[in-house]
Amino acid sequence: MAFPLRWLYETTKLLDFRTGLKTFPNQEKYQQHLDSVIAAFTNYKIPVVTLKDLSIEEVCPIFERINSSGTKLSTYDLMVAATWSQTFDLNDETAKIAEALEPKGFGTIDPNTLLKCLTAVKYGSVKKNDILALRKVASEMDDLVDETSAALLRAVDLLTTEFRIYSWDFLPYEALLIIITYIFYKCGALSQDRLVRVRQWFWRAAFAERYRVGGENFVSNDLELIEHFVVEKQGDPVDLGVPPSKEQLTNTLFRINNSRARAFVLALAVRRPRNITNGAVIDTAEALSTFNRKQFHHIYPRAHLKRIADAEEHNSIINICMLAASENNAISDDDPKVYFPRCVATLGSSADVVFGTDLLPLSGEFDYAAGSYGEFLSARSVIVAQFISELCDGAVH
């Protein structure tokens, strides 16, 4: 027999349930048990601490010490509480924004990132003190959310169409989204010359790992710097980072949590790559919607390199191309000296076109039937480095 606890404070249902116990044997025992349950909940004493005239910074550690689960409050948690009103709930607003971004693959965006976007639009900063300062303008939050949402949607559209970022998982740095949102808030739309400057900054920042360190102060300073560079068209691209050398690229490992590796994958997508096996165009939107290793092919399979005890780095990004999962499975761990000549024969006159979309050495310029893995890395790193340099200069492909 079960008693729904939600009836504790619904008098009619509670009394009907208690009266109904009289129809059972040992009715007095059942009623006593019910009375004990009711007393346990209705007489429970809840400790209450009232804090007055304290800042959020002072309240936070107090809460963390006294709450039983030891839950650590994030800045976002603090702002949800600090900005709440009868007409505004930050949780609801961030949920609406995430829902609007879902079709673009950004539905899993971190609420703390949204909070930083709001602060960037309001104060041109993402410093914690400025984030917390939003509580002082709680009455303006509705308008701020609307302005930020509009700029954020444009930013995500740009990331999708211009940089082939179809998922939050492939964004090299959170700061890139925040700053692009800020740029759209400032100028509304991007002219062609401003778009070129966005390309220059984006690729240089991603490949030079500009936001790997520095934190909120560095990003806050860059909000102003990139505004000057893009909106006011001031400054030199070289000040924002330099393209990686072929040696740096060769030494970069293919790991999805590596920002340079993510940028490399995006650069491959820009080329509108084709399968090296049959020349079919690869659906980059599908390949980059979620991270799936089967969509990325080790040109010289790792199992093969291990089998021949090759000393070069097997997981270099220079050894990676995009390939449909079915074709990847078909190649498996075949020797490139065998399967590449087969691909060239299958592709025929279109082989060089297909290889070009994958940033691979052309069949007439590299002997796939005899070349070593080290020679392949050397040849392809030159091609990849040149292409990335063009992207960093704002070129369109």
From first to last of the 397 residues of the chain, give the pLDDT tens digit. Answer: 788 888 888 889 888 888 888 888 888 888 888 889 888 888 888 777 777 777 666 666 666 555 656 566 678 887 887 777 778 888 899 999 999 999 888 988 999 999 999 999 999 999 999 998 888 888 888 999 999 999 999 999 999 999 999 988 889 999 999 999 999 999 988 999 999 999 999 999 999 999 998 789 999 999 999 999 999 999 999 999 999 999 999 999 999 889 999 999 999 999 999 999 999 999 988 888 776 666 899 999 999 999 999 999 999 999 999 999 889 988 999 999 999 999 999 999 999 999 999 999 999 999 999 999 999 999 999 999 999 999 999 988 7
Nearest to 379 by CA among 332, 324, 336: 336
User: What phi, psi does 272 have (nearest 5°)?
Assistant: 50, 65
Q: Is 321 left (phi over 0), alpha (psi -120 to 50) or beta?
A: beta
Six-digit token string for 130: 């400025």
HEC sequence for the chain: CCCCHHHHHCHHHHHHHHHHHHHCCCHHHHHHHHHHHHHHHHCCCCCCCCCCCCCHHHHHHHHHHHCCCCCCCCHHHHHHHHHCCCCCCHHHHHHHHHHHHHHHCCCCCCHHHHHHHHHHHHHCCCCHHHHHHHHHHHHHHHHHHHHHHHHHHHHHHHHHHHHCCCCHHHCCCHHHHHHHHHHHHHHCCCCHHHHHHHHHHHHHHHHCCCCCCCHHHHHHHHHHHHHHHHCCCCCCHHHHCCCCCHHHHHCCECCCCCHHHHHHHHHHHHCCCECCCCCCECCHHHHCCCCCHHHEEECCCHHHHHHCCCCCCCCEHHHEEECCHHHHHHHCCCCHHHHHHHHHHHHHHHHHHHHHHCCCCCCCCCCCCCCCHHHHHHHHHHHHHHHHHHHHCCCCC
Nearest to 234 by CA among 242, 244, 243, 224: 224
Structure tokens at 299: 């040109």
Burial class (CB in 10 A: 0-12, 13-18, 19+), 375: middle
Is 186 in contact with 233 (CB distance < 8 Å)? Answer: no
- Collect all residues with Cβ–Cβ distance below 8 Å to 127 and sequence separation of at least 6: 119, 216, 217, 220
Lookup: tokens for 277: 């096996």
Max Cα–Cα distance, the chain, nearest Å: 95
CA separation for the pair 146, 299 (Å, rounded): 47
